């Protein structure tokens, strides 16, 4: 039961074949016994009461949501009423949220039992590691000597280790996709703007709304189907816009693996992958080809991956600066971003998904010298700059390797569906060795 998917346990709870309370208690016990430091706060009594309520609702025959009774965790940076929101910063160590973030509201409305919060890097300021002065360092369940990635390292480690059935993290510079790759789980950065970010901010008075792009909130899970389920209940407009129009997840372009038109770049001299990553990616694409998938190699016309990576770096700086700085530089970089989005839009007229590495290496040792540290962002930048949905899918290897599946804008389920179908031939989530 420890490594079942959220979709599977939700179905059993709805049928009355599984007790939400028992499942939640087992999960909390595993968290208490873990040395990974992935989940840093739980509210046992609150979670168990919510799970008991879920069981009573099933017994009454009440209509229930798609995540009814499923115990899960969320990244520390999301506000959860009654729990600490620290962002790993000592100045916020005693801050307790008085209300839920939009994502948490929607997960609860879908029936999820929010049982705890996962660790982050201090102020979410590192995509490669997860450590902070409040809670300390999170370890990778595949090899505790190695990083789980950041800043959603606690999220990915919790899912991989069976400490959560579903997680919600955030991704500015790969903070969902890189940890997912390093820990061997699925992670989704949705199309920009799909999931509301209300309640995702450091403690204190609400900041100027500023500029959300390119930050995104998204799920981490042990299956692609769980990504679809989580996005389906958390996406859509927030606030006044929520009453202006309805939102639903667009259907995938295809339902058979061999029907997908696939593009791919598995290596690039400007950010070469390690041999371990390259071998795993090559094996995965060969398996797809044997399954009847036709793969066309090469970058889309009009896409310069180095220029995209550089422009994405500027967008991240702009995100933090909130439009302060050189206006001429802003205008030029925005032109490049829009040109990138247009090039990818043209590309997806003839292709359904685009495959690439998530990151050029597998998880590295804690505190090791990494001469190519910033290169961890190169491959994830290709989807982030134009705001495209991107799934990291585990494809095996001695240490996990992540295959990045990029889809067309606002067609997240095309990327999710491909990742789910591909698992039949490339492999999917595998529990870590005990």
Provide the CA 117 distance to its chain's centre, in angstroms: 15
Rounded Cα–Cα distance for residues 279 and 338 (Å): 34
- C-alpha pair distances (Å), 199 with each of 206, 207, 255: 9, 11, 35
Classify residue 292 as left (phi > 0), alpha (psi -120 to 50) or beta: left
Closest CA to 174 of 38, 309, 3: 309
* Residue count of the chain: 434
Query: How is residue 138 annotated by DSSP?
Result: -
Q: Which of 131, 173, 156 is nearest to 366 (CA)?
A: 131
d(CA 408, CA 357) in angstroms, rounded, equals 17
Sequence-distant (≥ 6) Cβ neighbours of residue 318 within 8 angstroms = 211, 325, 330, 333
Among all residues, which ones are annotated catalytic?
A: 75, 151, 175
Q: DSSP labels for 277-342? A: HHHHHHHHHHHHHHTT-EEEESPPTT--HHHHHHHHHHHHHHHHHTT-S-HHHHHHHHHHHHHHHH
Query: Cβ atoms within 10 A of the Cβ of 114, count?
Result: 25
Nearest alpha-carbon partner for 68 in 128, 2, 19, 28:
19
Cβ burial, residue 34 (10 Å; 0-12/13-18/19+): middle
Helix ranges restricted to H, 147-274: 153-160, 177-183, 224-234
Beta-bridge partner residues of 371? none
| DSSP H or E run through 221 | strand 216-221
Please, are residues 151 and 58 in contact by the beta-carbon 8 Å criterion?
no
Beta bridge partners of 117: 41, 74
Neighbouring CB atoms inside 10 A of 214's CB total 22
Beta-carbon count within 10 A of 109 CB? 12
């Amino acid at each position: 039961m420890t490594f079942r998917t959220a979709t599977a346990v939700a179905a059993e709870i709805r049928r009355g074949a599984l007790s939400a309370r028992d499942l939640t208690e087992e999960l909390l016990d595993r968290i208490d016994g873990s040395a990974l430091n992935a989940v840093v706060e739980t509210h046992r009594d609150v979670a168990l009461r919510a799970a008991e309520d879920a069981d009573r609702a099933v017994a009454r025959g009440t209509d229930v949501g798609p995540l009814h009774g499923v115990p899960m965790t969320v990244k520390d940076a999301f506000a959860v009423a009654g729990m600490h929101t620290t962002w790993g910063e000592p100045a916020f160590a005693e801050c307790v949220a008085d209300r839920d973030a939009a994502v948490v509201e929607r997960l609860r409305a879908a029936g999820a039992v929010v049982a705890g919060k996962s660790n982050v890097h201090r102020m979410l300021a590192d995509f490669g590691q997860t450590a902070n002065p409040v809670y300390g360092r999170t370890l990778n369940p595949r090899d505790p000597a190695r990083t789980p990635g950041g800043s959603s390292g606690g999220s990915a480690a919790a899912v991989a280790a069976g400490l959560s059935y579903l997680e919600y993290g955030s991704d500015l510079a790969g903070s969902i996709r890189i940890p997912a790759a390093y820990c061997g789980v699925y992670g989704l950065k949705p199309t920009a703007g799909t999931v509301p970010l209300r309640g995702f901010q450091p403690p204190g008075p609400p900041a100027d709304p500023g500029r959300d792009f390119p930050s995104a909130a998204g799920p981490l899970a042990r299956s692609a189907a769980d990504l679809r389920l989580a996005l389906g209940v958390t996406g859509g407009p927030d606030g006044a816009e929520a009453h202006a129009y309805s939102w639903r997840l667009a259907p995938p372009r295809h339902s058979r693996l061999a029907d997908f038109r696939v593009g791919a770049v598995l290596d690039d001299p400007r950010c070469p992958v390690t041999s371990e990553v390259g071998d795993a990616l090559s094996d995965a694409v060969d398996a797809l080809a044997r399954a009847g998938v036709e793969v066309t190699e090469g970058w889309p016309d009009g896409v310069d991956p180095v220029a995209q990576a550089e422009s994405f770096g500027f967008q991240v700086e702009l995100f933090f600066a909130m439009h302060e700085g050189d206006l001429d530089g802003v205008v030029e970089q925005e032109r490049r971003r829009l040109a990138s989005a247009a090039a990818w839009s043209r590309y997806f007229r003839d292709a359904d998904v685009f495959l690439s590495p998530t990151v050029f290496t597998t998880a590295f040792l804690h505190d090791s010298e990494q001469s190519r540290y910033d290169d961890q962002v190169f491959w994830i930048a290709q989807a982030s700059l134009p705001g495209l949905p991107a799934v990291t899918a585990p494809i095996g290897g001695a240490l996990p390797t992540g295959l990045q599946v990029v889809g067309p804008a606002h067609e997240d389920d095309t990327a999710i569906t491909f990742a789910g179908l591909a698992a039949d031939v490339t492999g999917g989530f595998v529990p870590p060795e005990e």
